[in-house]
Structure 1
Amino acid sequence: MIQLKSRIRKTDGDLYIIIGAHNTNYENWLPTNIENLNLLDKASFQNLFEEKKVSRFLAEHVFEHISYEDALIALKNCNQYMKKGGTIRIAVPDGFHPNPDYINMVKPGGIGEGAHDHKLLYDYKKLGKVLEDAGFKAVPLEYYDEQGQFHFTEWDSKDGHVHRSKRYDKRFNEPLGYSSLIVDGIKI
């Protein structure tokens, strides 16, 4: 925690924070975990960032582990400690994925790794709504719609690398077709 806080203090330019990925290492990004950034505790944000504002947050497969109500609190906290025009990139399992085996793996209580702790299965509408309710403009990047049609908008990995994505996860083209719902929330 002390080392992370020191690195944040020494950052002069843009501050890029990975949420819920303490051991993830991306160039120019600082990883956090609940021990040093509790998304539901405004004091945790204040303690870590003090007067600094974050340019980008990245949360890959984090928000499905908290309730909608807690996601709203977490996103409002992120918004408060973010620069205007900053972005939070969120990747979660996609509730509109057309493959029922995928849904059985990722739904709350599903059979996939980590699904026992999933609280919510988002689709682009639900994730967009919670982002908008927290003061962000929602911009879907990768998602399935209600008819099972996949949509993809070009995005730059430097703005938040999502391994479990069409471009970076080799399982996307396998029979299961693993993918993530990826949405950027832009602070307005």
Structure 2
Amino acid sequence: MSLKQKIIAGLLKEPFSRYQLVTYNPAEPVNMVVGSMYSLYKGWIHSDIETLNLLIRSDWERYFTVNSIDRILAEHVWEHLTEDEGKAAFKNCYDFLKPGGFLRVAVPDGFSSNPAYIDYVKPGGTGEGAHDHKLLYNYQLMSRNLQQIGFTVRLLEYYDENGIFHKNPWSASDGMVRRSADHDSRNHGGELGYTSLIIDAVKS
């Protein structure tokens, strides 16, 4: 997306998001992107903190009923929350998802074997937005926090504690994560330049 397109999208994203949130058809699958920034995916409702703050229960209640959302997608959002805030946001997602629905969450991976990557994404790191990062997750920490809420965890992409990368099949139609092994342009020639910890958290 060009700078001009980003400026236009930035000016339009709040009214567009609010329009989507108040006009969606609850009889059809309800798929929502949180922290969508400039992402636009067909068939998805897009929201940002201006229209739906993950931590504010009344924001959720303004647009949704409990057990009403099929899928929630969050790409590089949770690292901007403290651990306690992250747990509170997970709880809201859990409550408003339908049974069998899921949250697909992607964050920088704290077990990455690449020191330059860690320096880029860690709280206060060198990367874009890292000045606002509050927590560097790994699959163990995020899995534990999700399971404490009641989610069943499916690991999609992650580094383990030995720095070995694991990837399980997943479909972009269930929630596109651009910063991933197959979809990030920094990954080429069999080399992983940038990946994310990606988890599907399923509501029982």
Structure 1 length normalisation: TM-score? 0.94
Q: In the TM superposition, what is the alpha-carbon distance from 1:63 to its structure 2 partner?
A: 0.3
Alignment-derived partner of residue 20 in structure 2: 4
Superposed counterparts of 1:34-73, under 5 Å: 34-50=49-65, 53-73=68-88
Q: In the TM superposition, what is the alpha-carbon distance from 1:173 to its structure 2 partner?
A: 3.5
Larger RCO, structure (CA 8 Å, separation 6 or more): 1
Q: In the alignment, does 2:121 pair up with 1:106?
A: yes
CA RMSD of aligned residues (A): 1.6
Q: In the TM superposition, what is the alpha-carbon distance from 1:51 to its structure 2 partner?
A: 5.9
Alignment-derived partner of residue 200 in structure 2: 184
Native 8 Å contact 1:101 1:176 kept in 2: no
Q: Deviations over 1:146-185 (max 9, x none)?
A: 1111100000001100000001002124767211110110
Native 8 Å contact 1:139 1:183 kept in 2: yes
Alignment-derived partner of residue 142 in structure 1: 157
Change (3 A) 1:22 1:113: closer
SS of residue in 1 equivalent to 2:187? helix
Structure-2 separation of matches of 1:50 and 1:152: 34
Structure-1 separation of matches of 2:123 and 2:192: 18
Dislocated runs of 4+, deviation >2 Å: 4-8, 172-176
**Aligned length in residues:** 187
Q: Which runs of 5+ in 2 are unaligned?
A: 1-14
Alignment-derived partner of residue 131 in structure 1: 146
Structure-2 separation of matches of 1:108 and 1:149: 22
Native 8 Å contact 1:16 1:29 kept in 2: yes
Percent identical: 43
Alignment-derived partner of residue 153 in structure 1: 168
Q: In the TM superposition, what is the alpha-carbon distance from 1:3 to its structure 2 partner?
A: 1.3
SS of residue in 1 equivalent to 2:181? coil
